[in-house]
């Protein structure tokens, strides 16, 4: 995308796998204007400078709840490059995994500056609420930049540090009513727990069944010989909605085996 002396209003856009010879593999803004860029994924773009975004000569923009990741340059700033009296505002945004010869994520020249808050900036950045930690993207190699929390709702190391870490003002809350998550995609915490799991033994199979959960796209099944385990890692089985049953084969006689099911969206 190229904006010259213009105002862009982008919401929920996906800008990926583009290439520019010199500046701004994903977005290039120049010669004035104030752009509002919200809930956008800017990833996998390439150029010489400003792989994700290049801003030049009095071009200002506000990035709110964006994910700017895995953009690459041969020169400066794989994420956002700003030059010549341009002053971007970055909030609730993830800038991570970008590659460059110099300043891989954010760069501003001497007459420019970033205002960054409640954002995950790889390498760190001064500002209220900023963090520097792996976002725990679902599958970035295949373009999935959703945040993950394998053991939800257990607040452990499987919870992305970007979940519930954005601006705490209620006006920024996620659609599920929880505190804002950094990045373009929020982790939905509104799905209820499965409390009516039924298990029947049929031959050497354990047949699991449960009631459907509205909005669930899949059900991740975990098992352990301990009833107190916390689900983690790869599930033993994934059942796609609307199915609500699963057969676990080759269950050993008199073996204690406990199951937990987590809704996925």
Domain assignment present for 51: yes
Instruction: Please answer whether residues 123 and 97 qualify as being in contact, where contact means their C-beta atoms are separated by less than 8 angstroms.
Output: no
Residue 239 falls within a domain, yes or no? yes
Tens digit of pLDDT for each residue in 94-130? 999 999 988 889 988 877 789 999 999 999 999 999 9
Domain boundary pick from 128, 159, 188: 188
Question: Into how many domains does the chain fold?
Answer: 2
Asked whether residue 254 is assigned to any structural domain, the reply reads: yes
**Structural contact between residues 205 and 248, judged by C-beta atoms closer than 8 angstroms:** yes
Same domain, residue pair 150 and 217:
no
Same domain, yes or no: 137 and 34: yes
Token pair in block for residue 10: 């982008």
Q: Mean pLDDT, to the nearest integer, of 229-253?
A: 82
**Spatial distance between the Cα atoms of 63 and 95, rounded to a whole number of angstroms:** 11
- Indicate the helix (H) or strand (E) that contains 208: strand 205-209
Domain assignment of residue 95, yes or no? yes
User: Is the predicted pLDDT of residue 253 greater than 70, yes or no?
Assistant: no
Q: Which among 114, 26, 107 is positioned nearest to 71, based on CA atoms?
A: 26
Q: What is the mean pLDDT of residues 1-17?
A: 92
Name the nearest CA neighbour of 232 among 223, 240, 245.
223
What pLDDT shows up at residue 76?
Answer: 92
pTM, two decimals, is: 0.76
Does 20 score more than 90 pLDDT? Answer: yes
- Specify whether 117 is located in the same domain as 45: yes
Do residues 125 and 28 both lie within one domain? yes
CB atoms closer than 10 angstroms to residue 213: 18
pLDDT category at 67 given cuts 50, 70, 90 is very high
Read off the tokens for 185: 């995609």
Examine the domain organization and report whether 177 and 245 are in the same domain. Answer: no
* Domain end position, chosen among 154, 170, 188: 188
Tell me, yes or no, whether 12 lies in a domain. Answer: yes
> In b/e form, how buried is each residue of 148-185, taking b as 16+ CB within 10 angstroms?
bbbbbeeeeebbbbbbbbbbeeeebbbeeeebbbbbbb
For the stretch 174-199, pLDDT in tens is 988 999 999 999 998 876 667 788 98
* pLDDT tens digits for range 50-64: 999 999 988 889 999
Domain that holds residue 76: 1-188
């Amino acid at each position: 995308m190229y904006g010259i002396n213009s105002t862009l209003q982008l919401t929920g856009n996906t800008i990926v796998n583009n290439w520019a010879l010199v500046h701004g593999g994903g977005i290039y803004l120049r010669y004035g204007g104030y752009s509002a860029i919200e809930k956008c994924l800017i990833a996998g773009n390439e150029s010489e400078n400003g792989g994700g975004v290049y801003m030049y000569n009095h071009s200002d923009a506000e990035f709110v709840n964006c994910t700017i990741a895995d953009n690459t340059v041969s020169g400066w700033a794989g994420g956002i490059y700003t030059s010549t009296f341009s002053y971007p505002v970055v909030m609730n945004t993830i800038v991570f995994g970008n590659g460059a010869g110099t300043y891989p994520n954010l760069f501003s020249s001497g007459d420019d500056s970033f205002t960054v808050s409640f954002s995950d900036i790889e390498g760190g950045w001064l500002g209220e609420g900023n963090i520097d930690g792996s976002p725990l993207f679902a599958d970035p190699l295949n373009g999935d930049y959703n945040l993950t929390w394998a053991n939800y709702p257990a607040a452990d190391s499987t919870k992305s540090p970007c979940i519930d870490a954005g601006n705490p003002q209620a006006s920024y809350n996620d659609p599920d009513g929880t505190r804002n998550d950094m990045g373009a995609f929020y982790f939905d915490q509104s799905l209820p727990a499965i409390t009516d799991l039924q298990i029947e033994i049929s031959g050497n199979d354990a047949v699991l069944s449960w009631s459907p959960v509205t909005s669930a796209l899949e059900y991740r099944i975990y098992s352990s010989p301990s009833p107190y385990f916390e689900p983690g890692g790869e599930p033993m089985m994934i059942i796609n909605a609307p199915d609500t049953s699963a057969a676990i084969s080759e269950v050993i006689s008199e073996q204690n085996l406990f199951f937990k099911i987590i809704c996925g969206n």
